[in-house]
Structure formats: C-alpha cells, structure tokens
Amino acid sequence: MTSPAPARARISVIGAGPGGLTCARILQRHGLTPTVYDRDSGPDARDQGGTLDLHAGNGQIALREAGLLEEFFALARPEGQEMRQMSSTGEILFHHVPEDGERFKPEIDRGALRDLLLGSLRPGTVQWGRALTSISGPAGGPRLLHFADGTTVETDLVIGADGAFSRVRPAVSPAVPQYSGVSFLEAWFSGVQARHREIDELVGQGGAAAADGERGMFAQRNGGDRIRVYIIRRVPADWIERCGLTIGDTGAIRARLLSEYAGWSPLLRRLISDNDGHYVDRPIYALPVPHTWERDPAVTLLGDAAHLMPPLGVGVNLAMLDAGELALALARSATVADAVRDYEETMLPRSTETAKLLEGGAEQLLSDELPHFAQDDDTRHEDHSPIGSYRKDPVRP
C-alpha cells in the first residue's frame, strides 16, 4: 500500500496519558485529525497518580509546541522543586531550595496536567471506554484495531502511547517488560497541614528522600494539601502473595514494614504507620536494552510503550518529547511512512542511549550515597531529584 499523506491519514493514538494527549494536541494545531482511544470509562475513572516535574529540556519543549507552556506555568508549583536528602536516622544531608523565578522543573499534579491537555483538544477527540485488545492487518497498513467491546477500526497509523504493558507494542516487537527486583508501596496522606503536621514539615514544599542501602522511601508534596509516600524495597514482585497476604491486609503489611524499617528514625517510620487508607503495590519493570524494532510505516510507539526504563528521571518528560517530535514529523512530512522514519531515527538512538545509562538503575533507589548534584557548587540547573521520575510517574501494573 502507498503510504498516505498525513493530512488524509486516519491517525489513531492509543492511550490518553500525557504522551498521547500531547501528540494529539500538536497534531491538531497543525491541521491533522487524530483520534485518541483510552480504556478508562472517562477522564475521572481512576486516580491519575502523583505529581510530575516537567523539565525545561524536554517536557516543557513539548508543551511549548502544544501552545500550553504559559498555562502550565500558571498551574505549576515552582516551590515543588525543593528537595531534601536524609539519612535513615532523619539527618538532613542535602537540601535544595529553589530560587525565586526558577522554572527548570516545576511540579504539577498529573491530574491537572491531563485536564490541561484534555481541555485543549477538540470535542470528541478522545473516545473513552475503548480498550484495545489487538491489532491485525498487513505491515505497512492499513491496520485494524480490535477493541474489547467487539468493535473494530481501520486506521493508517497506530501510535502506541499506552504505557508499560502496551497492547500496541506486540505489533512491532516481541519484547515484554521484566521485573527490576525493586518494588514500591505507595501510601497517601491527606489534609496534612492539620492532620499530619510533623510529616508536612518533614517533607517541605517538594520532596524528601531517605535510604540505607537496602531499603528507601520517598515522600512528595502533591496539590490539594496531600502527600504521597513511596516505600522502596528489594523484594520479589509477588512478595505480598508469598507472605500469605493481599494488598487489602493493611495492618499486616504495615506491621511487616515497621519491622523491616525498625532501625529508622521514629519520624520517618510514621511515613509507614500514619497513612490514610490502604497501600498501593507498584513493582518496577523495564524493557530490555536496547529495545528497537523493524520499522513499520503504520505503527510506532512513544514513551513507556517504546522505552520503559527504571524510574530515574525520564518518564513523562521523554514521553512528551517523543510525542512532540512525532507530531511535528507528521506535520512536516509528505507521507506517514516518511514521518515514522524520521521520528524513529531520532527517538530510538536517544532512548537506547538513555536506557543503557539507566540499565539496572533501580538499585540506585536504595542507595545511601548522596547523588552527584549534592556535591556540586552550582545546583541551580541540575536535576535535583536523586530518584527521579518514579516519584512523579509511578509504573502502573
């Protein structure tokens, strides 16, 4: 089949996360007509996760191309760039406080970013309740999307923006994510200024991290007077079941965690004992390195679907950069095939290089060594998060 011009192509984006929505927004700004399909029943079907930091060198570039950068700054929390690194005894080893006007990587709640992107799209762009099950059709297209509700859609380009366990990825790659050996338990705190005052002061306006070489935790300030905590451990992916528990056994899980963290300071242990409600299990997965595929002019991937890595500072920022570059390639190319080629010639080497640097890096989440930036004299434009985007964009099972 001859590859169509992007202006005449049926473009299907799978996944209404930040990457997929950014791609759709930039495509629409250039006169193209994408449709976004998402498995959720609606935009408020589930919690969207914690806060994100969007970096000047990637995520903010994509928002500028989307025409939404100033709206982002109006919603973001620059004070959220504050970062504390502590020992397991509670001693503060490093403390970064952002300067007035610092915009290198301000924070925004994931839900607020999604609402900003959704509100920028034409009505009807996102079709909710459309869970993709498989893709058929010849390499080169057109491809046929098969949904859980029994419907099908023929399309000229499938953009897989559907995350770690992508249903689009098998159309171009047999790779599947592998467990890193490190897992998070997420805990929530709400109404912290009144109900959790000591934890509120411990975390500050941004994030606070601690580790002892075997285990760690990270607490992050969210909007709406909330804090999320990620308890980080080297355990089997199915450790809860192996212990004869379920994720709903909050009391038993809490007792086990308090035993494991027995040598930590009493205040840090309150990040385990005082949470509101149950824990959320988030094992960390990554794709093999390098992850590449034979080019298909009718299918491509972005974000975690393309390059799921240990959560060390990439995450949403790379997904949004991918989305912007793919959308611009489609806007500027004569055919869809040309656009996919140009996009992948840039994205795949970049993601491979980054993935090689981060391979096996989940172990860094447990390190009690200070990150390199804490030893630098000039930290103004460094990435101040020692454990990066995992705290912003937890991996979803």
179-286+364-391 has the same fold as 6-81+99-177+287-361:
yes
305 in Cβ contact with 13 (< 8 Å): no
CATH of 179-286+364-391, one of 3.40.1160.10, 3.40.50.720, 3.50.50.60, 3.40.605.10: 3.50.50.60
Fold for 6-81+99-177+287-361, please state it: FAD/NAD(P)-binding domain (3.50.50)
Element (H, E) at 108: strand 107-109
User: pLDDT tens-digit profile of 136-158?
Assistant: 999 989 999 999 999 999 999 99
- pLDDT surpassing 60 at residue 320: yes
Q: Is 322 helix (H, G, I), strand (E, B) or coil?
A: helix
In this predicted structure, the answer to whether residue 194 has a pLDDT above a threshold of 60 is: yes
Domain ranges of the chain: 6-81+99-177+287-361, 179-286+364-391
Distance of alpha carbon 159 from alpha carbon 23, whole angstroms: 9
Q: What is the mean pLDDT of residues 118-141?
A: 96
| Whether 22 contacts 68, CB under 8 Å | no
Angle between helices 266-273 and 250-260 (to 10 degrees): 160
Instruction: State the average pLDDT for the chain.
Output: 91
3-state secondary structure of 169: helix
CA distances for 51 relative to 21, 199, 391, angstroms? 17, 17, 8
Reply yes or no on whether the pLDDT at 119 is more than 70: yes
356 compared with 373, residue with greater pLDDT: 356
The DSSP-derived string for 211-261 is: E-SSEEEEEEEETTTEEEEEEEEE--TTHHHHTT--TT-HHHHHHHHHHHT
Q: What is the pLDDT of residues 249-302, one digit of tens each?
A: 999 999 999 999 999 999 999 999 999 999 999 999 999 999 999 999 999 999
- CA-nearest of 322, 321, 318 to 393 is 318
User: What mean pLDDT do residues 302-312 have?
Assistant: 92
Whether 170 shows a pLDDT value over 90: the answer reads: yes
* H or E stretch at 189: strand 178-190
Q: Name the token pair of 79.
A: 């004070």
Digit-coded pLDDT (tens) for 176-190: 999 999 999 999 999
pLDDT at res. 359: 84
